Amino acid sequence: MTQPSTERGQGAAEDVDLPTQYRPAEVEGRLYERWVSEGLFTADPHRNPDRPYFSIVIPPPNVTGSLHMGHALDHSIQDALVRWHRMRGHETLWLPGMDHAGIATQNVVERELAKEGLSRHDLGREAFIERVWEWKAESGGRILGQMRRLGDSVDWTREAFTMDEQRANAVRTIFKRLFDDGLIYRAERIINWCPRCLTALSDIEVEHEEVEGELVSLRYGSGEDEIVVATTRAETMLGDTAVAVHPEDERYAHLVGREIELPLTGRRIPIVADEHVDPEFGTGAVKVTPAHDPNDFEIGRRHSLPSLTVMDERGVVTAPGPFEGLDRFEARPAVVAALREQGRIVKEIRPYTHSVGHCQRCSTVVEPRVSLQWFVKVESLARAAGDAVRDGRVTINPPEMAARYFEWVDNMHDWCISRQLWWGHRIPVWYGPNGETVCPAPGEEPPAGWTQDGDVLDTWFSSALWPFSTLGWPDDTPDLKRFYPTSVLVTGYDILFFWVARMMMFGLYAMDGVQPFDTIALHGMVRDQYGKKMSKSFGNVIDPLDWIDEYGADATRFTLLRGAHPGGDVPVAEQWAQGSRNFCNKLWNATRFALINGAHVRGEMPEKLSTVDAWILSRLQSVIAEVDAHLEGFDFAKACETLYHFAWDEVCDWYVELAKVQLADERAEATRRVLGEVLDKLLRLLHPVIPFVTEELWTSLTGGATVVTAPWPSAEPARADREAEAVVESLQRLVTEVRRFRADQGLKPGQRVAATLEWGDSPLAAHEEGVRSLLRLTEPGEGFSATASLPVEGVTVRIDTAGVIDVAAERKRLEKDLAAARKVVDQTTRKLANESFMAKAPEDVVAKNRERLAQAEADIERLEAQLKALPAG
């Protein structure tokens, strides 16, 4: 790690405000509150109307939520984009807010009531909703404070909530439009039902888990009418209304159209032919229970089969008979036992692992159930959402995710939007005394004495309006005019089909065909270092707040972003967070060294620069261009890697060390200016990723007010100096090779060794002092006798290692390396002489083999020279 110099060169700074160590806890809170109080994150739709804008609306976290690693990744990506565009001079809006999270919030408050021995029904609907608002005011929204700790540069003056009055007006407005256009209807359909929460669920509120159950094969009918079906839910056979086979399955052709007796019930049910049935799966025959299976429901509709509901809303069997009153999981073994007594069980596979849906909020097994619900007719809306991507109005990044998006929107089913809850946007439909239905316009009173529908809207209904309701829609506000469509939606690929598609549908519908965002930037899931999903049951969940406490927000963000390739999952581990903290410390020490030694950004860059100064400025231009390209492509991992290696390897480990020599001679003033320039721009490049430490360092270095609004660096091609780069790269190879030799001999990095340097006509001769400093090589004294000689980069380094080098070990190492190099020469020579290989191999493969041969031949020459130079022994 770079340490500050103990001596001040001429022109060095007299006072350095930076403490000797970086302590994030003493910096982060202070800086964040200053940024907010100074309005640095506040957007203005009227400011500089001609300059480009950049806007993001935050995927609203649940009001019940707290920051987890998925949030931390999502927010770090968004904040990096927002800070980058803000520095580029764009009018930038990052709009924060929360989702009311209907089921989750209602469950939380109901648990609180249960502690008092009460239920929501004891309070009544109105009082219960008041209680939820009280809970939100006191305990909800904890995640907003945690967003501050992460450094989210959101515009807090525009904070929104999916249940506030503005969003409620937007919900009522779009519901009315959809209703009047015939795109909202009420019907009995099969839906996901939670027997514990007693409500319908959207697909995204159902989590599928692999569980162990049993697969039971049942014999229906008898004699020539016998047919075997298999099921994991034997209790649902009580509601079977048919058996289905494929129309081209010759095994059952004679049975299609006939009826068989359904065991245990005495009912006769038909055998129908349906193309949905896979004749290759199982026996090729399936039981059809339209009221309790979504696929069976569709078969039932196609064949006009009755739907028999055999369980109530709590999963208790209601079918008359011996199983009535049993819970579904009690009924299952009881039905199997009864069928076994009748000799109807053909086969039982136990345990049988299969995927089962669970309620996301309470983990109860979901029950498909026919229910009277409200739906959105999605056909035309989904087609528009697909067209917006196909015609290029919306770009999906990474592009390969587009196929999954089309698969979803092109095959979307009508969306169940009603929920049997009290907390949420109540469906704005009223019923008259004779069954009449009315949906008043917002602000319009319903007819006196009419009753409002008791259900509320799916949480995703209101969040689907988020990109435009947060900007003031349905009013034509300045924010809506300036910041819509939003620039990019950043979210995990896991909700591409649910939330993203619904925002696309509603945005295009409400905003006259204008998309809600120009780009959909998808990232993956945060996983542990082994690529395993984080789960409490696995014991591998990491709380990002623990990392922020221990290592700082910057280190937490850098760890996440360093693994964030477009669409790819992000593995993390605590040792990587430690490494990120070390990186922040490295920057701190390098900047403190620079300040102590008088680095500055005042005045123009000197025209005459040393090769080392010209090299680092040239490399800086390349890095700026590379980072821009990576950020444009949403590849934060590559941007972070580029900046990490430039900062640590090139600036700190090479340039700062070489600059120490220059700071002590006539090149000092130019080097101070170059060192200031490089750190100034490096800190600006790093600011979107690690905002706190860069703010503290940049303001100390430059005297500027804040790096938050400092201009983003632009590459200056005129500063490219390939000649200087070539010289320093040669110097680096020389130093690296000698360091490797020292390490092989057991020499400590700081141990000084006498050596002569024979430069020949090498341009590196001008850098002898720097080379000696980097390699800890002293001038040879009287009686010097070289015990080892290393020819590297046209330079011969003769070292006196008497008393420290193990000649036998070194000879053995060199001979081993020499044998390996000769083997490579032999293999590649034979390959390149093979006519068949040369005729068939691609040009790049042939070129790589030639490069490998040339490198091995050079290695042989170098190793033979080193062996020759070793002393006898």
Q: What is the dihedral of CA 589, 593, 598, 603, to 10 degrees?
A: -50
CB atoms under 10 Å from CB of 189, counted, come to 19
Max CA distance (Å), the chain: 116
Q: 């039971």: which residue's tokens?
A: 216
DSSP assignment letter at 500 = I
Instruction: Tell me if 638 is assigned to a ligand binding site.
Output: no
Of 198, 103, 185, 170, whose CA–CA distance to 414 is shortest? 185
Q: What is the dihedral of CA 634, 635, 641, 646, to 10 degrees?
A: -50
Q: Is 72 helix (H, G, I), strand (E, B) or coil?
A: helix
Q: Is the dihedral of CA 273, 279, 285, 288 positive or negative?
A: negative
DSSP assignment letter at 413 = P
Of 109, 166, 175, whose CA–CA distance to 456 is shortest? 175
Specify burial of residue 813 (Cβ count, 10 A radius: 0-12, 13-18, 19+): middle
- Alpha carbon distance 356, 343 (integer Å): 28
E strands along 24-162, which residues? 53-57, 91-95, 97-98, 160-161
Of 674, 644, 651, 643, whose CA–CA distance to 576 is shortest? 644
CB atoms under 10 Å from CB of 833, counted, come to 9
Decide if 866 contacts 814 (C-beta within 8 A).
yes
Q: Is 836 helix (H, G, I), strand (E, B) or coil?
A: helix
CB atoms under 10 Å from CB of 629, counted, come to 13
User: Backbone dihedral region of 11: left (phi > 0), alpha (psi from -120 to 50 degrees) or beta?
Assistant: left
Specify burial of residue 580 (Cβ count, 10 A radius: 0-12, 13-18, 19+): buried
Q: 């031949």: which residue's tokens?
A: 857
Non-local (6+) Cβ contacts of 643 within 8 A are: 623, 627, 682, 685, 686, 689
Of 702, 731, 532, whose CA–CA distance to 17 is shortest? 702
Non-local (6+) Cβ contacts of 667 within 8 A are: 610, 613
Q: 């809850």: which residue's tokens?
A: 421
- In order of 8, 130, 426, 461, 625, the CA distances from 125 in angstroms are 74, 9, 11, 21, 59
- Alpha carbon distance 547, 581 (integer Å): 10
Token pair of 735 as six digits: 């130093």
- Alpha carbon distance 199, 359 (integer Å): 10
Task: List the beta bridge partners of residue 494.
Answer: none
- Rg, C-alpha atoms of the chain: 35
- Alpha carbon distance 714, 107 (integer Å): 52
Decide if 815 contacts 867 (C-beta within 8 A).
yes
Task: List the beta bridge partners of residue 451.
Answer: 431
Q: Is the dihedral of CA 17, 23, 25, 29 positive or negative?
A: positive
Q: 């709009």: which residue's tokens?
A: 95
- Alpha carbon distance 650, 621 (integer Å): 13
817: part of which helix (H) or strand (E)?
A: helix 807-833
State how far Cα 853 lies from the chain centre.
42
- Alpha carbon distance 359, 419 (integer Å): 14
User: Which residue ranges make up the annotated binding site?
Assistant: 536
User: Which residue ranges make up the annotated binding site for ATP?
Assistant: 536
